Each structure stands twice: as structure tokens, then as C-alpha cells.
Structure 1
Amino acid sequence: MDSVLTGGRGAIAWRAFLCQNLAVGAAFGGFGIAVLPMQELFDVGRGLATLGLALAVLVMGAAGPLVANLIARFGHRTTILSGIALSGIGYLLLALAPTLGPDGIYLVLFAYCLPIGIGLVMFGPFAASMLVSGWFQPNPATALGFVNMPLLFAILPVAGAPIIATYGLGTFYLLLAGLHLLLLPIAMGVRDPAEHSSGHGRVRATTSMRGILSRPVFWLIAAGGGTLSAIGIVGVSHLVAFGVERGIAEEQAAMLLSATGAASVVGSLAVGMMCGYLGAARALALIGLVTAAGWGLLLATTNIPVMLTVVLLVGAGGAGVFPAVNVLAGQIFGVGALHRVIGLYGLANLPFTFLLPPLAGVLHDRAGGYGPVVMSLIASAVVVALLFLGLSGMRRRGGAAAEMV
């Protein structure tokens, strides 16, 4: 870990860490505590109130291949700085939305969809991971785990909820825009891997896009990983509202959301170690089983210590999905094709990450409660666990089975 945090490469890792944290913390952590105030302010249903983050995720997934090309053409620094500025403009628009009355919800949806959604992929996990992957070859796993620890996601719900309660949504979003402004001079220090004196350049893709898409294993990874990611997004979007509906004070529900973020800080590193011990496919299967069991317990109890323990485990597993998918894709397709595979992965799992969170809100409104929503999450997580267990078995058997994937 010391080599990740020190020296010239360490400075790059720290900058990537700060970029990823602001992108994810503001978009996901900030959204989770804003859903109920937003629903009340604009007088809309839960489905529409939670649509903003789903739109951001939709654009983030769709824009992955495009942003990879922007990085190749203009470099990491220009792309990341542009993403920070674009995302900051999005939060300025969110700060203005409450002044528009009920129609402000449409400005909210626009802001999350375009400036924030595009900004997320330009300076968030995808761009940050590509940056450190190039700088930390031939083994970027530890650096990827560090960079993807969402520390701000853990802090923001607890720090932001009192701000919203006291000063309103507009002030909260204005503060997030200010954080983007503070990040700009830090991101100015980003340099492309090709500038590294030891000669580590960008990893060249060795598998064609068509070759990746033609393999069934790619679609299995996209479906399984996409479902687990979507369940995590549902948790971020609905956990506070779910807790309040179960009779928990809003401050305690916000604490649960914050605990999810705290677990995410160590989850990516822990799952990375688990991948080395169990294999990436089995690690993903275990994440699915823990997710299913965790939501079952959340539905069965309102005991805060028990719920806190559960969300810590579920949050840690959810944070490990992206690193585990990276490891699995590298093992199957090769490190040279990893960036292309991950770009296509983000695009292919859009039906899961885009549709499931707002559908959870609609199902809640139709059913009059979160019971059916949680049961659907449990069933989906179990199916994903079985899929990855099957993939692990096929890879271990090798031979013909391996060729099938």
C-alpha cells in the first residue's frame, strides 16, 4: 500500500481518489438524503423523485466508450477537468431548481441526466480507474482498490442531512458545486501514464469489440454485475425512505445510509483480497448471497444495531462489485482488453442499473410499501449468486466448458 500512496505515482493515485470520491459521494451519497425532501418540495411520487439518479447512471453507462475515446484523444487531465466543470454546473442547476416551484423537478432531472451524468464518467470511477490502471501496470489491483474507496459517500449523508434540514436543498447543492470548484486546481496535477518516467504506457486492447460481444460470458458478467450494481443503487436511493417507513427516525435512517458508505471504503480492498483467495466469480457469488441475506434481515427487523451490521456487510459487498468485475474480466479477456471490456460492460448493464431503481419506486407506490420491493431484490441477488457460481464451476472444469464462456 505504501507504494500506492507515495512518490509520483502516489500523487496521481491521491488525485484520482479525490476525483472519484467527489463524483460518487455527491451523486450517490447526496441523492440518498435528498429524495424525501425533494419529493415533498416538488410534490411528486417516489418513482419520479428517484428517477434523477437513474438518469445519471444511464448516461454514465452509455458514455463510457465515448469518454474512453476522449481520454485517448485529449488525455486524462483535459477529460477529468472538463468532467469536474460539467458536473459542477449540474449542481448549480440543482441549487436553482427549488426556486422554480413544482416545475423545478424537471430541471432536477435534466441536471442529473446530462451535466452530472456525463461528468460522472469523465472524472468518476471509470476515468479514475483508467488513469491508475495505466500508471500502476503490471499489477494495478491495490491502486484500483484504494482509488475506488468512496470515503465522501460515507461522510456526506451524516454531514448533509442537517444542512438540508436547516438551510434547504438549494444550499446543500450549492455547497456541492463549491466542492467541485475546489477540486479543479488539484486535478490540474493529473498526468497521463505515457509521461511516467519508467515507461509504463497505456494498455493496448488486444481483443476486438466484436470478439468481446460475441462471447456469452461477457453478457453473463454484464447481467450479473449490472444486477448487483442496480441493487446497490436501489439501496442508496431508497434506504432512508425504507427506514422511515419502518418507523425509524430519519436521522437514524441517514446514519444507516452513511454506514453503507463507510463499509464501501474498505469493501473494494476486502473484495480484492477475496478475489485472490476464492476467485473473482466466487467472490461475486458471495456478494450476491450476502446481499440477499442482508435485505432479508432488513425486512425482518427494526433493531438499529442489527440493521447497522447488515448495511455494513451489504455496503462492503456492493463496493466490491466493480473491482471484482475488473478482476474477472481481466482473467477471462486479458489485461490488454480490460478497458474496452469495462467500457462495453457499463453500456451493456444499463437495462439493469437504469430500470431497476425507478421500478423499485413505482412498485413501492403501487404496493403501498417496500415489502414487495425487498423481496424482488432478494430473489434477484440469489439468481445472480447462482449464475456466478455456475461460471466459477465452468472455469474450474476447463476444457470444453471453458471454451463455452
Structure 2
Amino acid sequence: MRMVSAPGAMPVNAGRFAHPAWRMLIIAFLAQNCAIGMNFGIYGTIVAALEANYQTSRALAASGLAVMTMVMGLLSPVAGELVRRYSIRTLMIAGTLVNAVGYVLLAFAPSIEVVLLIYGAVIGPGVCLLGVIPSSSLVSNWFLAGKGRALGFVNMPVFVAIFPLLTALVLERFGLVGVFLMAAAISLLLVLALVMVVSSPGERGLKRYGESEGEAEAQNAGADAEGPVLTGRQINASRSFQVIWLGIGLLTAGGVMMTTHIVPLALDKGLELPAASLLLSSFGVCAAAGALLFGWLADRIGGQKAIVVQAFTWTLPWAALLLLGASAAPLIIVAGLLGLISGAIVGLCGVVVSAWLGSQNFAAAMGYVYFYKVPFLFGAAPLAGYLYDRTGGYDLPVIIHIATFVFVGLMFAFFRPRKIGDAVSS
């Protein structure tokens, strides 16, 4: 006899991948990649075209993503609160429509100043409503078992690898107008998937993936099964949250420094530009695999221990940079290892936030984490450049980052959080 679960839930013996959580996972993956992956994949390919089209400096032409990222960080706490109060589907659809409008405006922008204004005032808010916070929150709402792998999958930067080639083809035939209109069309097509978003299983009387029947019934009945909903002030005052944003900020600084300086570092060692560029490609491809690998690890040993492993393991390829010379193959392998471990940061952040603060506080806490990450995002690369100018090499910035990774590993190894809500995979 076939057993069934509570009304509206999936049959107990239904196929593993028949659960609606998997559909939400795919939609969140597409949303995150359209928000972040597509933007980063496109922009790096069009910098030279922007410089030539608007007769501007390379510095201004390359500033669009920096402006967008800064606005995203500043608005992240607002986005987190919106996700707690309103439908994720509505916010995501609003975000992709805002992006579509922004891309159309970019297609006909008369100057580089207007381009940067659009990236800050339109694309930045749109990405904030579509990207990391709502996408990761959607996954956190739907997954209990396997949350680490799910968050890792959502944050795989696949479009970063796809869109440079696609953008180059469109740019060659149709110019910047064609590139931006392509992005607008893709944003509009995404709406077809976003209309299927269900913010949480409770809206449909369902259970989260991996959740027991008793937990699902309590959730659907409105019981406070996950602990209290914290205010923004309470989240910021939490010692657990402070450890998260400091640790994730320092790890993020390492990733930003490396993606910005890995090619100049290789050139400084004596590699030619084509070979040096392969290091960045190796870094990017392996980062996608790292998101899944460390998501799996977090599901096995818990997010806190996974961050300890990530931080200490990351010191090894960084240290190898101090020892290797102008040999392309070893440097490409090391770059891949750097990317593999770097790709874990966003997913592990989500796992630890959910485990320590509870799914009910996930969106708001993630928003504040991204707000506090702004100085790390914008300070890491210039600081490395400044130290390079002062010392004539990259050894000092590399050593500083290794020290920060050791600090993060020790901090997470010895910290004992007071967990609020569901302790995922721990």
C-alpha cells in the first residue's frame, strides 16, 4: 500500500527529485546566474568597447561593476528585510524587470557617466532584488537536508564562464547595443521561470526537503518551530553574527585580491600574457566546482567545520605562490586550487547563517553580511596594489592574506555559537 504524507505534501515514496524543492533550486540557480554571473561575464568583455565607444579612460570604462557591487552591498540589508516581509517571487520578478529596463537604457546611453549612473541606480538595485539574498533565501526555505550542496549549487558562477564567449560573438556583430539588448531579452525570459517561484513550502502546505512530518505540521500550523525572529539590531548585536561577517569578509577579501591580481602576479613572475590569462580561467572554472565540493562537505561535517577546513586549506596554494617561479603549468594548477577553495565562500556563509541564526532570520542576516562585506570588497585589491608599489612584489600581500586565513580558521574552530533555529548538517 502506498503511504502518503500530510495533505498537500509529496507522497512518502515519491521520487527523490519529484519534490518541489528541486524546481525552486533550478529557478534560484538561474536567477542568481542572471543577476551576478551574466553581469560579470558580460562586463569584462565589453570594457574595451566602452572605452572606445565613449572615448573615455580605461578606469571609468571598468568602473561599472564596482559601482553596481557597491550599491548591492549598501542595499543588501534593505533587500534582506524585504525578503522577510514580501513574496520572494514578487521581489525576483521586480528585480529582473528592473534589470531589463536598465539594459535597454544602457543600449542607448549617451555617455560613460550615464552608463555608470544606470549601473548604480538601476542595475544595482535590480540585481539586489534578484541575486544572492532572495535566491539563497529561497533555497534555505525549501531545503533542510542537503542545504550545503543546494546553496553551493545556486552560487556556482556558471554564467561567468558562458557569457564572455557569447558576449564576444554578439559584440562583434551587433556592438554594445546588441549586447545590452541581449541581456534585456534574457532578463525578460527569466520571468517565465520566476512566476513558478513559491517562497516557502508552508505557502502550499508542503514540507521542506528532508523535513519530518511532525516538523512540517508544526510549521504549517504556524508554530514557532525554528526560534525567534530577530530584529536588525538583535542580529547585529549577536556574537555569532559578528563572527560570521568578520570571517566571511576576510575570506572574501582574499578572493577579490586574487581575481584582481592573479594575472599581474603571473606576469610579474615572468609569464607571457596568454599564459597568465589561463590562470584566471583556471581559477573561475574551479570556483564553480568548489561551490559544490564544499557544499557537500558542509552537509557532512557542518558549515562551521567546513569553514575551518576551507580557511586552513586555502593557505597552501597561497603559500605555493611564494615558492613558484615562471612555470606556467604549476601556476595554472595552483590557480585552480585557489579557485576551488574560493568558490566555497558564499555557500558556506549561507549554511552557517542558517545554522547559527535560523532560517527565519536568514534573509535579514545575509543582507547585513553583504553590507559589512563592502569594505573588504573594495579595499582588498587597492591594498594589494599599494603594497606592491611599496615593496616591488606580491609577497607581502600574499603573506597578509595567509595570516588572515589562519585567523579565520582559528576563530571558527574555537567559537561556540548559541544556535537559534535549525542547526543544518551539524
Percent of aligned pairs with the same residue? 27
Check whether the contact 1:259–1:308 (CA below 8 A) recurs between aligned residues.
yes
Alpha-carbon shift at residue 327 of structure 1 (Å): 2.4
Q: 1:54 to 1:211 in 2, by over 3 A?
A: same
1:79-131 CA deviation, whole Å, 9 max, x = no partner?
Answer: 1111111122333344334xx4xxx3322322322222212221112111111
Counterpart position of 1:183: 190
Instruction: Measure the CA separation in 2 of the matches of 1:54 and 1:192.
Output: 30
Check whether the contact 1:50–1:237 (CA below 8 A) recurs between aligned residues.
no
Instruction: Measure the CA separation in 1 of the matches of 2:160 and 2:260.
Output: 13
Instruction: Measure the CA separation in 2 of the matches of 1:267 and 1:220.
Output: 23
Is 1:390 the counterpart of 2:411 in the alignment?
A: yes
Task: Choose the corresponding residue for 1:268, options 279, 282, 291.
Answer: 291
Number of aligned residues: 385
Check whether the contact 1:91–1:173 (CA below 8 A) recurs between aligned residues.
yes
1:323-354 CA deviation, whole Å, 9 max, x = no partner?
Answer: 21222233433444333322221122222123
Q: 1:73 to 1:360 in 2, by over 3 A?
A: same
Check whether the contact 2:271–2:327 (CA below 8 A) recurs between aligned residues.
no
Instruction: Measure the CA separation in 1 of the matches of 2:169 and 2:272.
Output: 17
Name the SS of the counterpart of 2:39 in structure 1.
helix
Check whether the contact 1:12–1:132 (CA below 8 A) recurs between aligned residues.
yes
Counterpart position of 2:357: 333
Is 1:135 the counterpart of 2:142 in the alignment?
A: yes
Check whether the contact 1:32–1:257 (CA below 8 A) recurs between aligned residues.
no
Q: 1:36 to 1:233 in 2, by over 3 A?
A: farther
More displaced stretch, 240-249 vs 184-193:
240-249
Instruction: Measure the CA separation in 2 of the matches of 1:108 and 1:370.
Output: 35
More displaced stretch, 143-152 vs 119-128:
143-152
Alpha-carbon shift at residue 75 of structure 1 (Å): 0.8
Task: Choose the corresponding residue for 1:198, options 201, 206, 212.
Answer: 206
Counterpart position of 1:403: none
Instruction: Measure the CA separation in 2 of the matches of 1:4 and 1:95.
Output: 44
Instruction: Measure the CA separation in 1 of the matches of 2:100 and 2:384.
Output: 27
The amino acid of 1:326's aligned partner reads G
Is 1:21 the counterpart of 2:28 in the alignment?
A: no
Write out aligned runs for 1:372-383 (5 A): 372=394, 375-376=396-397, 378-383=399-404
Check whether the contact 2:83–2:363 (CA below 8 A) recurs between aligned residues.
no
Counterpart position of 2:340: 316
Q: 1:249 to 1:187 in 2, by over 3 A?
A: same
Alpha-carbon shift at residue 301 of structure 1 (Å): 4.4
Q: Which runs of 5+ in 1 are unaligned?
A: 397-405
Is 1:115 the counterpart of 2:122 in the alignment?
A: yes
The amino acid of 2:27's aligned partner reads R
The amino acid of 1:231's aligned partner reads G
Name the SS of the counterpart of 1:191 in structure 2.
coil
Is 1:56 the counterpart of 2:78 in the alignment?
A: no
Alpha-carbon shift at residue 308 of structure 1 (Å): 2.9
Alpha-carbon shift at residue 320 of structure 1 (Å): 0.9
Task: Choose the corresponding residue for 1:75, options 70, 78, 87.
Answer: 87
Alpha-carbon shift at residue 296 of structure 1 (Å): 5.6
Q: Which runs of 5+ in 2 are unaligned?
A: 1-13, 209-218, 221-225, 418-426
Instruction: Measure the CA separation in 2 of the matches of 1:256 and 1:163.
Output: 25
**Structure number with larger C-alpha Rg:** 2
Q: What's the RMSD between the two structures over aligned residues?
A: 3.6
Task: Choose the corresponding residue for 2:78, options 62, 66, 71.
Answer: 66
Write out aligned runs for 1:225-304 (5 A): 225-237=248-260, 248-249=272-273, 255-276=278-299, 279-295=302-318, 297=320, 300-304=324-328
Alpha-carbon shift at residue 309 of structure 1 (Å): 2.0
| Higher helix residue share | 1
Counterpart position of 2:420: none
TM-score in terms of structure 2 length: 0.76
Check whether the contact 2:36–2:131 (CA below 8 A) recurs between aligned residues.
yes
